[in-house]
Amino acid sequence: MTSQNPSRRRYLLCPPTYFSVDYAINPWMDPDRPVDRPAAQAQWRLLRDTLARLGHRTEVIEPVPGLPDMVFTANGATVVDGRVLVARFRHPERAGESGPHRRWFAAAGFRPVFAAGAVNEGEGDLLVAGRRILAATGFRTSRAAHREAARLLGRPVITLHLVDPRFYHLDTALAVLDDDRIMYYPPAFSLPSRRLLHTLYPDAILADEADAAVFGLNAVSDGRHVVLPAAARSLAHRLHAAGFTPVPVAVPELMKAGGGPKCCTLELRSR
């Protein structure tokens, strides 16, 4: 059971003003499947309001026309102790997001702000877990980016290998709950990575395929409250049994692009 009190967090979000599915760069995206943009905007507002209701500070980066995935701010950077490593996207469709994120962090007073040299998709694949960073490779972020992140962000990096293309980013297959606990979907990882996760986190909450497939692991935790997709009902029960407070939100329109609550939420960690 958890006894840790929730800590107040600061998050960066981006309104889905230009959100659409115009291309397919992950298995969930289908340009022939229409997106209801007003519904997506309402769902995003619900997520933002939920985070605020839990006591967290939310900030907004302005969306840019022609960058429909910019709503997924978690992919834009990784922030540790005020140091920022801005993403370098693998796919050209998203490459234009790096510049607006770099400018936002510079204007907001973050120092230093690094531009990634290696392919690195921010908190999509680099998740801060206490004093370490859990980092994935296999589909988006390169292994070289793990070495770069360790050097620039000053934290040891644990490399994990994703093997199921449905879970193309680490934050679709694993969520950090607090400094010492995580939840994850084992089949998303290679066997050596599963063994490593079991060694590091023997008491982790394990998700089943049904909950993983509705982005149940794409969750935002403040150490007690866990904001996750409403469809992940079984996982919510497991969180409750472990002493966490699940906070369900429905974001089905955003899920059409392969994202959920965590994808829309970049944590701003100050010194």
Catalytic residue ranges:
169, 263
* Distance, CA of 156 to CA of 153 (rounded, Å): 9
Cis peptide before 27 (omega within 30 of 0): no
Closest CA to 2 of 231, 222, 232: 222
* Distance, CA of 186 to CA of 205 (rounded, Å): 10
243 close to 1: Cβ distance less than 8 angstroms: yes
What are the distances in angstroms from CA 267 to CA 30, 36, 47, 191, 219?
29, 27, 14, 30, 12
Write down the residue that tokens 């060694």 correspond to: 199
95-107 burial by CB neighbour count: b if 16+ within 10 A, else e? Answer: eebbebbbebbee
Residue 145 in tokens: 């980016």
What are the distances in angstroms from CA 178 to CA 57, 127, 143, 163, 246?
18, 11, 25, 25, 14
Write down the residue that tokens 């934050």 correspond to: 171
